């Protein structure tokens, strides 16, 4: 019993009583600050609701509301049972992605805005992946490529396969923040609105472009990987001039084939 008590970290003296109208928000903010500052660490158990209510000078209901807020933020996990309680946890990429999605849904975002935002993120992602991808990372991408070819031949290719390619690419960058950003590609930053304009040929073009990106990764050729990624994301858009400054900064100059005539010729091949 004494050993169990020692393992349960108490937070007495860490928090100050609340004397404001929005008590639950203030409680959540104090606990959040304790987590981000490192005073509370991942896996640590908070004091029981009763003790927290005494520390903050509020009711247990108010504390419970604050804990729900922190749980929604991905900062704590509330477990039930004899060994339950509120435990500090690290926010997952899905929480980050959902927050970004909710924010962006409140704004008017065009398919061109999405393509440009994807360029900002993915030109950097593919650069890191070229430098950091392990052989296991590359093999997972190769296996997905084989699955994509089979699905394309069977007529069952879906955007989920495309999303998985970009997710594996982000994982190959070995940066959890990049992982979190990339999860938003499945919702608000999906290229689906752009691809839907292209009709039946869209999936075949996507599979080919993903293959060329993977080939550049295997050669550890960052310049080629960025060029292939830029061509992939710019396909079907009209933002070549709008994105020229970004592409020049990244060392990825728009190809001559970016003109409408050249694009038509390229897609016909």
82 and 129 belong to one structural domain: no
57 and 109 belong to one structural domain: no
64 and 114 belong to one structural domain: no
Q: Averaged over 158-177, what is the pLDDT?
A: 93
153 and 238 belong to one structural domain: yes
| Number of compact structural domains in the chain | 2
Name 237's Cβ contacts closer than 8 Å, sequence gap at least 6.
111, 112, 115, 194
106 pLDDT more than 60? no
Q: Averaged over 187-199, what is the pLDDT?
A: 75
Long-range contacts of 153-161 (CB under 8 A, 24+ apart): 157/203, 157/207, 159/190, 159/192, 159/195
- Residue 199 φ/ψ region, left for φ over 0, alpha for ψ in the -120 to 50 degree band, beta for the rest: left
pLDDT digits (tens, 9 = 90+) for 124-144: 999 999 999 999 999 999 999
228 pLDDT more than 50? yes
pLDDT at position 38: 87
Q: In angstroms, rounded to a whole number, what is the distance separating the alpha carbons of residues 269 and 267?
A: 5
Classify residue 52 as exposed, middle or buried by CB count within 10 Å of its CB (0-12, 13-18, 19+).
buried
Q: What is the CATH number of the domain that holds 109?
A: 1.20.120.530
Which of the residue ranges 150-154, 198-202, 232-236, 257-261 has the most confident prediction, judged by mean pLDDT? 150-154
Which of 88, 109, 129 marks a domain boundary?
88
pLDDT at position 113: 81
- Domain residues for the domain of 107 are 93-268
123 and 195 belong to one structural domain: yes
131 and 227 belong to one structural domain: yes
Which of 68, 88, 108 marks a domain boundary?
88
pLDDT digits (tens, 9 = 90+) for 12-42: 566 766 655 588 999 999 999 998 888 999 9
Which of 88, 120, 146 marks a domain boundary?
88
123 pLDDT more than 80? yes
pLDDT digits (tens, 9 = 90+) for 230-254: 999 988 887 877 777 777 766 665 4
pTM score above 0.75: no
26 and 134 belong to one structural domain: no
72 and 151 belong to one structural domain: no
51 and 119 belong to one structural domain: no
Q: What is the CATH number of the domain that holds 29?
A: 1.10.10.10
151 pLDDT more than 70? yes
211 and 232 belong to one structural domain: yes
126 and 165 belong to one structural domain: yes
């Amino acid at each position: 019993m004494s050993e169990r008590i020692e393992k349960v970290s108490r937070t007495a003296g860490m928090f100050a009583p609340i004397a404001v109208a929005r008590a639950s928000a203030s409680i959540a903010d104090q606990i959040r600050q304790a987590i981000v500052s490192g005073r509370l660490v991942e896996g640590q158990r908070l004091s029981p609701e009763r003790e927290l209510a005494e520390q903050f000078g509020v009711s247990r209901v108010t504390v419970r509301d604050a804990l729900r807020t922190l749980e929604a933020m991905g900062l704590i996990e509330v477990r039930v049972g004899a060994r339950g309680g509120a435990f500090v946890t690290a926010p997952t990429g899905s929480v980050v992605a959902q927050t970004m999605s909710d924010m962006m849904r409140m704004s008017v975002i065009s398919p061109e805005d999405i393509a440009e935002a994807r360029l900002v993120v993915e030109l950097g992602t593919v650069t890191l992946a070229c430098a950091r991808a392990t052989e296991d990372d590359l093999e997972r991408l190769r296996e997905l490529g084989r699955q994509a070819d089979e699905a394309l031949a069977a007529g069952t290719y879906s955007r989920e396969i495309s999303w998985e390619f970009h997710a594996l690419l982000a994982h190959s960058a070995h940066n959890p923040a990049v992982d979190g950003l990339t999860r938003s590609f499945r919702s608000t930053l999906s290229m689906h609105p752009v691809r839907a304009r292209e009709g039946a040929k869209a999936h075949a073009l996507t599979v080919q472009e993903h293959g060329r990106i993977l080939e550049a990764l295997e050669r550890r050729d960052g310049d080629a990987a960025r060029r292939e990624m830029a061509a992939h994301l710019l396909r079907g858009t009209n933002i070549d001039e709008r994105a020229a400054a970004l592409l020049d900064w990244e060392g990825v100059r728009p190809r001559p084939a970016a003109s409408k005539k050249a694009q038509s010729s390229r897609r016909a091949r």
